[in-house]
């Protein structure tokens, strides 16, 4: 697997918060989560039913409908081709970081924010500055240590507060990599992104295929929309795509209807349709759940092959830890709207830290000594309908103690060997005493450690 190391991730999710406002309550379906996807890698999102996986995917795609809304944070998609195309189409809503840098002095801007009472914790994610007040930190220091740059100011949208943009922008351009923020993009921009930048496949292939058109015609339509192909050119490309996803006898099957395809073949057709958009990121929401185990394995194999060929990044959603082990490079574990553990896949399986992850791993068939007595975590995921001032997993947690009911755990580093492993649990960091760890989380929670920058 070739994971290209570039400064900018392909996708950066920062403090994303999506809620559903029902008559009865506000459901915080995605509650302030942070993660990144690099080019060409597979990031798994795992968690039980109701943990917020699908809402995360739909938030990225700009597909949240009323009564739901993205209420905070950002989703930055950084593929150059998409950024260029959108910047050309929406020039008035594009901000150029390099231009801003020429026009303004970052130090002065930071000082102005300090004067308005903005704390370093809100300006930077840098741990060294998290819990310090503006009185303890000066602008020069932040700039010198690269803890705040023009890019951070733009990303965190202080530009509007500073009056250097109108705050209407959702496209950021820069020599060293720009991005499009899908949470602030209008519908016509989102359609352009969904067309070429990010494609999504769902659990049930039937809902994604129209029963009244042949499979071939539906792929051709995608090719016409996203690549401008028509006629025999489109026909040839359609057959090539069907062959790419290993549909046998593609020349004949191109003119068949979805109901003539088996479940596995339909899912292959859906993947072909997603590929017709030439996406850079493919979001798969439980694409194999409805399939039997053998077919499931074939589809996973297919996705991995395609990924290698096309240098495609994949975000793979599943509740199945076994599937995660097969396909993911890095894993995000979600629980009740929150991201509670994050690690490279080998590290997560060898060294799960959060009691919830440990529970999920114990429930994989074959990992227990006694296979018949499959252990699952007792109870259900609670509906996240209030602000977490406690640990949402505590009621089901075998390791819960008093403080879990009154202190909300933040994600902290949990590994000596990799900086890439975090968990949100009061038991960590485990090089601290329990009391100190709890105190640490209490301060992180109060100190706005995640830099929640928007309402």
Ligand X SMILES: Nc1ncnc2c1ncn2[C@@H]1O[C@H](COP(=O)(O)OP(=O)(O)OP(=O)(O)O)[C@@H](O)[C@H]1O
167 binds, among Ni ion, ligand X, none (CB under 5 to 8 A by kind): none
51 touches ligand X (CB under 6 A): yes
Residue (205 or 409) nearer to Ni ion, CB: 205
**With CB under 6 A as the contact rule, which of the stretches 50-58, 95-103, 179-187, 361-369 interacts with ligand X?**
50-58
17 touches Ni ion (CB under 5 A): no
Q: Are 336 and 51 in contact (CB under 8 A)?
A: yes
DSSP classification of residue 91? G
Q: Binder to Ni ion among 8, 18, 54, 182 (CB under 5 A)?
A: 54
52 binds, among Ni ion, ligand X, none (CB under 5 to 8 A by kind): ligand X
54 touches ligand X (CB under 6 A): yes
Site string for ligand X, 319-358 (x = CB under 6 A): x---------------------------------------
50 touches ligand X (CB under 6 A): yes
Tally Cβ neighbours within 10 Å of residue 10. 25
For residues 365-424, which are near ligand X according to CB under 6 A?
A: 383
Q: Which of 251, 214, 215, 255 is CA-nearest to residue 236?
A: 251
**With CB under 6 A as the contact rule, which of the stretches 44-52, 128-136, 228-236, 264-272 interacts with ligand X?**
44-52
Q: For 31, list phi and psi in degrees, rounded to 5.
A: -120, 80
Q: Which of 215, 217, 177 is CA-nearest to residue 84?
A: 177
Q: Are 198 and 279 in contact (CB under 8 A)?
A: yes
Closest approach of Cβ 141 to ligand X, in Å? Answer: 41
Kindly give the pairing relationship between strand 11-21 and strand 68-77.
antiparallel
**With CB under 5 A as the contact rule, which of the stretches 49-57, 142-150, 304-312, 342-350 interacts with Ni ion?**
49-57
29 touches ligand X (CB under 6 A): yes
Q: How far apart are alpha carbons 288 and 307 in whole angstroms?
A: 16
Closest approach of Cβ 203 to Ni ion, in Å? Answer: 7
Q: How far apart are alpha carbons 9 and 76 in whole angstroms?
A: 9
**With CB under 5 A as the contact rule, which of the stretches 52-60, 111-119, 127-135, 302-310 interacts with Ni ion?**
52-60
Kindly give the pairing relationship between strand 179-181 and strand 68-77.
antiparallel
**With CB under 5 A as the contact rule, which of the stretches 3-11, 53-61, 117-125, 432-440 interacts with Ni ion?**
53-61
49 touches ligand X (CB under 6 A): yes
Three-class HEC string of 389-453: CCCCCHHHCCCCCHHHHCCCCCCEECCCCCCCCEECCCCCCCCCCHHHHHHHHHHHHHCCCCCCC
27 binds, among ligand X, Ni ion, none (CB under 5 to 8 A by kind): ligand X
Q: Where are the alpha helices (DSSP H) in 104-149?
A: 106-115, 120-123, 139-144
Kindly give the pairing relationship between strand 422-423 and strand 338-344.
antiparallel
**With CB under 6 A as the contact rule, which of the stretches 53-61, 70-78, 269-277, 300-308 interacts with ligand X?**
53-61
Closest approach of Cβ 431 to Ni ion, in Å? Answer: 36
Residue 160: partners with Cβ closer than 8 Å, 6 or more residues away: 166, 167
Size of the site for Ni ion (CB under 5 A): 2
Residue (47 or 352) nearer to ligand X, CB: 47
Site string for ligand X, 68-97 (x = CB under 6 A): x-----------------------------
**What are the structure tokens assigned to 377, written together?**
């975590």
Tally Cβ neighbours within 10 Å of residue 240. 11
Q: Which of 118, 130, 128, 111 is CA-nearest to residue 156?
A: 118
> Rule CB under 6 A: which residues touch ligand X?
20, 22, 27, 29, 47, 49-55, 67-68, 319, 383
> Rule CB under 5 A: which residues touch Ni ion?
53-54
């Amino acid at each position: 697997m070739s994971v290209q190391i570039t400064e900018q991730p392909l996708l950066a999710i920062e403090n994303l918060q999506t809620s559903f406002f029902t008559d009865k309550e506000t459901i915080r379906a995605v509650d302030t989560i942070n993660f990144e996807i690099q080019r060409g890698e597979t990031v798994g999102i795992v968690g039980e039913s109701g943990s917020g996986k699908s809402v995360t995917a739909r938030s990225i795609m700009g597909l949240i409908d009323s009564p739901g809304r993205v209420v905070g944070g950002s989703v930055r998609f950084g593929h150059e081709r998409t950024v260029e195309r959108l910047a050309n189409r929406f020039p008035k809503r594009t901000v150029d970081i390099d231009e801003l840098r020429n026009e303004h002095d970052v130090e002065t801007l930071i000082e102005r924010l300090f004067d308005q009472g903005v704390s370093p914790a809100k300006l930077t994610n840098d741990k060294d500055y998290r819990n310090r007040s503006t009185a303890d930190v000066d602008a020069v220091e932040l700039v010198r240590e690269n803890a705040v740059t023009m890019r951070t100011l733009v990303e965190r949208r202080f530009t509007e507060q500073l009056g250097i943009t109108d705050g209407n922008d959702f496209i950021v351009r820069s020599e060293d990599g720009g991005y499009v923020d899908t949470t602030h993009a209008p519908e016509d921009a989102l359609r352009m992104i969904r067309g070429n930048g990010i494609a999504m496949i769902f659990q049930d292939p039937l809902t994604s295929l129209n029963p009244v058109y042949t499979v071939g015609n539906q792929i051709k339509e995608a090719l016409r929309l996203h690549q401008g192909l028509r006629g025999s050119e489109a026909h040839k490309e359609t057959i090539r795509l069907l062959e790419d996803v290993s549909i046998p006898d593609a020349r004949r099957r191109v003119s068949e209807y979805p109901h003539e395809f088996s479940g596995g073949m339909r899912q292959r057709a859906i993947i072909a349709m997603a590929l017709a958009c030439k996406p850079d990121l493919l979001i798969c929401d439980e694409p194999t759940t409805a399939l039997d185990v053998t077919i499931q394995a074939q589809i996973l194999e297919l996705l991995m092959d395609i990924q290698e060929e096309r240098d495609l990044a994949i975000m793979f959603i599943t509740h199945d830890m076994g599937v995660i082990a097969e396909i993911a490079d890095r894993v995000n574990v979600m629980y009740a709207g929150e991201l509670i553990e994050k690690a490279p896949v080998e590290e997560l399986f060898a060294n799960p830290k959060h009691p919830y992850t440990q529970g999920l791993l114990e429930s994989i068939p074959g990992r227990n000594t006694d296979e018949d007595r499959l252990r699952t975590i007792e109870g259900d995921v609670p509906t996240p309908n209030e602000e977490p001032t406690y640990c949402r997993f505590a009621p089901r947690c075998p390791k819960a103690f008093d403080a879990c009911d009154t202190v909300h755990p933040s994600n902290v580093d949990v590994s000596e060997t990799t900086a890439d492993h975090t968990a949100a649990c009061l038991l960590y960091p485990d090089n601290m005493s329990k009391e100190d760890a709890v105190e640490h989380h209490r301060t992180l929670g109060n100190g706005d450690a995640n830099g929640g920058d928007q309402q």
